Amino acid sequence: MNIHTYEKFWLAASMVLIVGFILTITYGTVGIGVAMVDDSGETINPENINDHPKFSSPGVEQVGENEYDVYIQVVQFAFLPTEVEVPAHSTVNIHLTSRDVIHSYSVVGTNANTMVIPGEVAEVTVNVDEPKEYGVICTEYCGSGHHNMEGKLNVVPEEEFEGDSQ
Amino acid sequence: MSLGANSGTYLDQFPDEAKLIRATFYSSFAALFVGALMGLLQVLHRVDILRLIPSEDYYSYLTLHAVLLVLTFTIFFLVGVFTWGVTTSLDRGLEDLRYTWAWYGLMAGGSLLAGITIIGGFFDAIPLSAAVLYTFYAPLQAHPLFYVGLALFIVGSWFAGIDWFRSWWAWKRENPDERIPLPTFMALTTTLFWIISSLGVAISVVVFMIPWSLGLIDQVNALLTRTLFWFFGHAVVYFWLMPAYMLWYVMLPKISGGKLFSDPLARVVFVLFLILSTPTGIHHQYLDPGIAEGFKFIVMVNTMFLLLPSLLTAFTVVASMEHGARQRGGTGYFGWLRALPWRNPVFTGMALAGLMFAAAGFSGMINAGMNINYLVHNTWWVVGHFHLTVGTAVALTFMATTYWFLPQLTGKKIWNKSLGLAQVLLWFIGMTFMSNAMHRAGLAGIPRRTAEPQYSGFDFQPAAGSVAELNMQVVIGGTLLFISTLLFMLIVVMTVRGSKVDTLPANGYAETLSGPEDAPLVLDNLRLWAGIAIALVVLAYALPLASIIGRHGLFGPGGSPSPQFIDTVVFTGQAIFDSLVGVIR
Amino acid sequence: MSSKLRREIGHDEFDPKGTLALIAIYFVIISALWVFMYFVEFLGNDLTIVGTIL
């Protein structure tokens, strides 16, 4: 097959681009430690969420020196709890599940973004730095009130943090 | 059959097939018009300039917009284009026109059914609705006729593909030693991956969605049906793109005054799409719980390699245009661009569509990046991306080539070529404004698929500019696009109403600089490539699907249906089922 | 529309240097945009997800 020399250059350049993209993503994973939402969360029955030891009282709980677990129930059309407060400079593990349809939990202006699927528990960990108030929205269409679905993730100075919340 | 001096148009050569293609094109344009109208209403609603209906009902606008544009408009047009390609390149009419009209009927009937259920969502008095969006993720639930309509439409398109295979088999018997002509090769490879990939959504709809919406089964596994959708959902974009590529490969060189740079490479590109387009679907689910990161990584690698056929296409298509330009007298490294036939809307539309597609490669590579996807998932960036791809590379190519096809199908001249040029330019300019603003808005976190991106607890903060400025650009862009659509409709209608002429060019397509004789025979071995395609799909999907089914079983728990569709049908369906079961017991 | 064919260029005489030039520019733009998007927009953004609980 006749492949023109210039097209051979371009084929090589295309492979450089493709491999370069893959390597960059890999660097993000193994170098920086970016992790994808995956199947390590448990499975759960959406109808029995209120029997679950943690999701039945959603909120923030300290689990380590600088580490906090947050449990959020996601429903049509709210996040429960709607406002979540965590202290600055800590590690936050967010656990999410849906009582009804597919939603998302998306912290506006950040990379914290995950789907929330009924039957699955989505678990994501972020390191929060300086105090800041973030808006949280649902970005996966979930029904007629989808556009009203919002919450907050407030990172407060350590002194102001009130401890476990319900 | 000849019509005096003009004995070479497609209408002269294949009058019956021309009638079929006219039907598919007119159906396509009707969908384009309604879909585009929805787009304008959406834009005005989102930025809060004009809200004609309550926001709760906005999602019916959105479902109609997507279903009519990316299913009805695109697929009706492409079955017409491939029918043209196959009959022209084989120089042979279709095998059985009753079969052909039957698949047209399935597609038309299916579209109408689905469309009516969606429109029902605007009216409380009508007990039909399908405000589930184009992706219809369970447990969101539509009226059963929505799913039935979609199924009929897809099955109709399968029969269209089989129609082209029938033509090829018949031609092959009479021409056993010849290479498959390029347009036919493209139609056949596209059909193969279309049938393979749409099996995923067909299973989701027929095995799960329809029985569930009829009340025959209680629950569906939300993650499973979502994954089956995306099995289809990525490959479908290539179903839209392949006919556009075919037009760039076999029509654009000739319009540019030249020849196709390489037939063999065009075959390689289509084979690559056949084998790679389906095992990439999970890249739409990078942020889904319940799917292991390892599977997502493999899919990312597949997706990045899927860039290759498009990058190769860029070279071949531009080189073919350059060939035409230099034959027309163009010189220099860049000066040759000026020698191209920019006054011809068929050329300019396709060239601008291709240019916009190159820009789409940028946002697409970001979407494909497994972890950088966090930045853009479900934001308006994604919408900006696909308005460049299906919304321009495909749609603008289809509109531009209509200016060549319509005379061939009707025997009439285009009513006003200058308006046609204005139409394609308006589309390009409108899309530049709108898509650019959508990308920037997405980076600020502004979401897609929402009636009111105005929230009370916080403000969106774009890195550059303001939300107001972005909104203005989207409104300007959307309005220009709608005006362009109206112009297109006007030109089509006025052309069809005109009188026949004798001065049309003959039907045909581009010759090649490097022809099929240079293409290794193995490229034409469709069975081999289909086999590899199926093997890759099994490799990519067996384990993830097994894992998903293992977590909750085939039927849930997936959450209760939302909204539950009309009670009377549930009741009737349940009653029928119960009585049948009663009889069996 | 008639094309103003001034001369015929065959397979062996055709030198697509214009295509090469355009495609080289595209390569540079895409590479630069990728680096910017990944390292500035993405990694420079808040709250990157760094782990799932084991």
Within an 8 Å CB–CB cutoff, is residue B374 touching chain C? Answer: yes
Tell me if A85 is assigned to some domain: yes
Same domain, A28 and A103: no
Tokens standing for residue A68: 């906090």
Angle (nearest 5°) at CA A140 between B141 and B44: 95
Q: In what order do the strands lie in the sheet with A113-116?
A: A83-87, A150-156, A132-137, A103-107, A113-116
Within an 8 Å CB–CB cutoff, is residue A166 touching chain C? Answer: no
**Which residue does chain C place closest to B327, by CA atoms?**
C7
Q: How far apart are CA A118 and CA A45, in angstroms?
A: 8
Q: How far apart are CA B241 and CA B394, in angstroms?
A: 6
Residue A86, domain extent: 46-160
CATH number assigned to the domain comprising residue A130: 2.60.40.420
Q: pLDDT exceeding 90 applies to what percent of chain A? A: 91
* CB atoms near residue B22 (< 10 Å): 17
In chain A, the number of structural domains is 2
Same domain, A4 and A27: yes
Same domain, A126 and A84: yes
Full-model pTM: 0.94
Residue C39, domain extent: 18-47
- Please say whether the beta carbons of A44 and A55 come within 8 A: yes
Tell me if C4 is assigned to some domain: no
**CB atoms C47 and A107 under 8 Å:** yes
Q: Is pLDDT of B374 > 70?
A: yes
> What's the pLDDT score for residue C11?
87
pLDDT range class, residue B563, cuts 50, 70, 90: confident
Tell me if A3 is assigned to some domain: yes
Q: How many CB pairs lie under 8 A apart between chains A and B?
A: 222
**CB atoms B287 and A146 under 8 Å:** no
**CB atoms A120 and B551 under 8 Å:** yes
Over residues B145-174, the mean pLDDT reads 98
**What DSSP character marks residue A54?**
T
Tell me if A51 is assigned to some domain: yes
In a 13 Å sphere around the CA of B149, the CA atoms on its Cβ side amount to: 23
- Please say whether the beta carbons of B299 and B281 come within 8 A: yes
Q: Is pLDDT of B526 > 80?
A: yes
Within an 8 Å CB–CB cutoff, is residue B371 touching chain C? Answer: yes
Same domain, A30 and A57: no
Same domain, A51 and A131: yes
Tell me if C2 is assigned to some domain: no
Within an 8 Å CB–CB cutoff, is residue B337 touching chain C? Answer: yes
Within an 8 Å CB–CB cutoff, is residue C42 touching chain A? Answer: yes
Within an 8 Å CB–CB cutoff, is residue B323 touching chain C? Answer: yes
Phi/psi at B90 (5° precision): -85, -10
- Please say whether the beta carbons of B487 and B423 come within 8 A: yes
Residues of B with catalytic roles = 234, 238, 385-387, 448-449
* Residue numbers in chain C where pLDDT is lower than 70: 1-4, 52-54
Angle (nearest 5°) at CA A36 between A34 and A38: 150
Angle (nearest 5°) at CA B447 between B75 and A150: 135
CA B15 to centroid of chain Cα atoms? 27
**CB atoms B334 and C37 under 8 Å:** no
Tell me if A7 is assigned to some domain: yes
Same domain, A23 and A75: no
**Which residue does chain A place closest to C45, by CA atoms?**
A110
Q: How far apart are CA B260 and CA C11, in angstroms?
A: 10
Q: How far apart are CA B374 and CA B206, in angstroms?
A: 33
What ipTM was predicted for this assembly? Answer: 0.96
Disruptive mutation site among B375, B436, B440, B503 for chain C (greatest number of C CBs within 10 Å): B375
Residues of chain A neighbouring C30 (CB-CB closer than 8 A)? 17
**CB atoms C43 and A28 under 8 Å:** yes
What domains can be seen in chain B, in order of their start residue? 13-584 (1.20.210.10)
Q: Which of residues 17-46 of A touch C (CB under 8 A)?
A: 17, 20-21, 24, 28, 32-38, 40-41
Closest CA to B223 of B561, B556, B564: B556
- Please say whether the beta carbons of A69 and A53 come within 8 A: no
Tell me if C1 is assigned to some domain: no
pLDDT range class, residue A1, cuts 50, 70, 90: confident
Tokens standing for residue B508: 């045909």
* CB atoms near residue B210 (< 10 Å): 19
Same domain, A19 and A94: no
**Which residue does chain B place closest to C33, by CA atoms?**
B362
Same domain, A80 and A24: no
CB proximity list for B327: less than 8 A, separation 6 or greater: B257, B258, C3, C5, C6, C7, C8, C9
Q: Is pLDDT of B108 > 90?
A: yes
Same domain, A68 and A121: yes
CB proximity list for B292: less than 8 A, separation 6 or greater: A38, A39, B544, B547
**CB atoms A2 and B551 under 8 Å:** no
Tell me if C29 is assigned to some domain: yes
C-alpha distances (whole Å) from B561 to each of A102, B10, B57, B199, C13 are: 11, 50, 18, 24, 65
Which chains neighbour C (Cβ–Cβ under 8 Å, 3 or more pairs)? Answer: A, B
Q: Which of residues 47-76 of A touch C (CB under 8 A)?
A: none
**CB atoms B315 and C14 under 8 Å:** no
Q: Is pLDDT of A62 > 90?
A: yes
Same domain, A20 and A57: no
Q: CA of B261 to nearest chain A CA: how many angstroms apart? A: 10
Tokens standing for residue B477: 């862009």
Disruptive mutation site among C15, C26, C33, C39 for chain B (greatest number of B CBs within 10 Å): C26
Over residues B371-376, the mean pLDDT reads 97
Same domain, A60 and A122: yes
Pairing of strands A150-156, A83-87: parallel
Q: How far apart are CA B302 and CA A109, in angstroms?
A: 29
User: pLDDT, tens digit, for every residue of B474-486?
Assistant: 999 999 999 999 9
Q: Which helix (H) or strand (E) holds B267?
A: helix B263-276
**Which residue does chain B place closest to A123, by CA atoms?**
B289
**Which residue does chain C place closest to B373, by CA atoms?**
C42
pLDDT range class, residue B583, cuts 50, 70, 90: very low
Q: For residue B378, give the nearest of A34, A101, A139 by CB distance.
A: A139
**What DSSP character marks residue B155?**
H
In chain C, the number of structural domains is 1
Tell me if C27 is assigned to some domain: yes
